[in-house]
């Protein structure tokens, strides 16, 4: 008796399945209904077509083949080094995670950050990079274990949601911190509000209600509120200083010779382009079945997220150098406390 047949008999209380010998469950995992057990893996790392996978995996009808389903966690981890339609999704963010880890290493403090930067400046940068690392790692794990079971899909999907909120919070907090570097009270109020609002999106996915269908509108409203509230400090800055001057601020401290506002606009364009590609499902919507392994929309979206994180890191460095440079409008002594004036 093969291992799949044996597992099936154990789960069905020693009785034969009505679906015949080809029906087995994902060994070592739970969360499959009998309907989901109609197609069984007959060999390790078996791949499936769209019509043969459980409904919860049928997200993109333009991706036709190379789906993983009914995997154990051990098999899912082993598939990290195999070719399937999630390989690119996993490695685009896993590679980005490794790059971010390198930036957190102590060497980056002496190589990238100016020597005038205080310990608090270094902590602020580390927190931003850790928020990016969490987002990229959670996304990679979600795509790695997505084919284990419906329960695994929901569990790791919640971590993926949480990672997105963490990255949004980290990105806005570091920009607000340096935009209002010299305005202690305003800076801390904005930071507190941004953190409080985004904290809901960070811990919310860990609650049982978060992934329920009836909570969908509430979930969308929470993310919309997070985005609006996080943008308010930037709008306040633009109203106070104007768009033209913001686009040019700090250009003298940038090797590219462009202002941090221009970099921020570039970053927003990158992420909006990623959202557009993801929502449009381009290019696979025009080439169904042709982008199953490479160059489908989710891979492009992931790549643009990593690029956006790196651009954000560069503009944050530029903001810090501008604040410490002593140039008109930017000069401030390095802060050693969130409450120092």
Q: What is the CATH number of the domain that holds 306?
A: 1.20.1070
- pTM of the predicted model over 0.85: no
Where would I find the H helices in 79-149? Answer: 87-104, 106-111, 119-145
Q: In this predicted structure, what is the pLDDT of residue 258?
A: 63
Domain span at 56: 3-78
Residue 154 domain-assigned (yes or no):
yes
For the chain, how many structural domains are there in total?
A: 2
Largest CA distance in the chain: 80
Q: In this predicted structure, what is the pLDDT of residue 338?
A: 59
- pLDDT, tens digit, 9 for 90 and up, residues 77-116: 999 999 999 999 999 999 999 999 998 887 565 677 888 8
One domain, residues 131 and 101: yes
One domain, residues 90 and 73: no
- pLDDT, tens digit, 9 for 90 and up, residues 254-300: 545 567 778 888 998 998 999 899 989 999 999 999 999 999 999 99
Instruction: Specify which of 119-123, 243-247, 299-303 reaches the highest per-range mean pLDDT.
Output: 299-303
One domain, residues 225 and 303: yes
- pLDDT, tens digit, 9 for 90 and up, residues 14-51: 444 333 333 333 333 444 444 444 455 557 899 999 99
Residue 337 domain-assigned (yes or no):
no
One domain, residues 190 and 226: yes
Residue 331 domain-assigned (yes or no):
no
Residue 40 domain-assigned (yes or no):
yes
Q: In this predicted structure, what is the pLDDT of residue 23?
A: 32
Residue 332 domain-assigned (yes or no):
no
One domain, residues 133 and 262: yes
One domain, residues 49 and 175: no
Q: In this predicted structure, what is the pLDDT of residue 327?
A: 58
Burial class of residue 168 in the structure, from the number of CB atoms within 10 Å of its CB (0-12 exposed, 13-18 middle, 19+ buried): buried
Give dist(CA 229, CA 198) in Å, integer: 9
Mean pLDDT of 202-226: 81
One domain, residues 124 and 212: yes
Mean pLDDT of 122-137: 95
Q: In this predicted structure, what is the pLDDT of residue 140?
A: 98
One domain, residues 315 and 216: yes
One domain, residues 18 and 110: no
pLDDT value at 168 more than 50: yes
Mean pLDDT of 60-64: 96
Burial class of residue 295 in the structure, from the number of CB atoms within 10 Å of its CB (0-12 exposed, 13-18 middle, 19+ buried): middle
Question: Is 296 annotated as ligand-binding?
Answer: no
Q: In this predicted structure, what is the pLDDT of residue 324?
A: 82
Q: Which residues of 97-123 are buried (b: 16+ CB within 10 A; e: fewer)?
A: bebbeebbeeebbeeebeeebbeebee
Question: Is 241 annotated as ligand-binding?
Answer: no
């Amino acid at each position: 008796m093969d291992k799949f047949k044996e597992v099936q008999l154990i789960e069905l209380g020693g009785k034969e399945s009505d679906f015949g010998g080809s029906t087995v469950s994902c060994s070592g995992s739970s969360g499959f209904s009998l309907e989901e057990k109609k197609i069984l893996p007959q060999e390790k790392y078996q791949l499936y077509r769209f019509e043969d996978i459980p409904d919860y995996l049928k997200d993109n009808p333009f991706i036709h083949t190379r789906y993983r389903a009914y995997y154990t966690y051990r098999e899912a981890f082993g598939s990290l080094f195999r070719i399937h339609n999630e390989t690119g999704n996993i490695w685009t963010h896993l590679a980005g995670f490794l790059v971010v880890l390198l930036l957190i290493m102590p060497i980056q403090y002496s190589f990238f950050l100016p020597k005038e930067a205080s310990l608090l400046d270094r902590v602020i940068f580390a927190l931003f990079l850790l928020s990016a690392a969490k987002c990229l790692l959670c996304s990679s794990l979600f795509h790695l274990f997505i084919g284990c079971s419906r329960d695994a899909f929901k569990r790791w999907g919640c971590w993926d949601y949480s990672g997105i909120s963490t990255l949004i919070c980290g990105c806005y907090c570091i920009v607000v911190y340096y935009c209002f570097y010299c305005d202690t009270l305003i800076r801390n109020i904005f930071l507190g509000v941004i953190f409080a609002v985004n904290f809901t999106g960070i811990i919310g996915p860990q609650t049982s209600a978060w992934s329920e269908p009836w909570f969908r509108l509430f979930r969308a409203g929470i993310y919309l509120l997070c985005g609006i509230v996080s943008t308010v400090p930037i709008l306040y800055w633009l109203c106070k200083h104007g768009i033209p001057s913001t686009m040019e601020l700090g250009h003298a401290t940038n090797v590219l010779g462009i202002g941090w506002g221009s970099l921020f606009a570039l970053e927003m364009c990158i992420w909006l382009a990623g959202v557009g590609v993801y929502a449009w499902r381009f290019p696979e919507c025009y080439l169904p079945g042709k982008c199953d392994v490479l160059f489908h929309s989710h891979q492009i979206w992931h790549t643009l997220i990593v690029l956006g994180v790196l651009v954000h890191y560069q503009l944050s460095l530029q903001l810090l150098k501008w604040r410490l440079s002593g140039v008109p409008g930017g000069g401030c002594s390095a802060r050693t406390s969130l409450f120092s004036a």
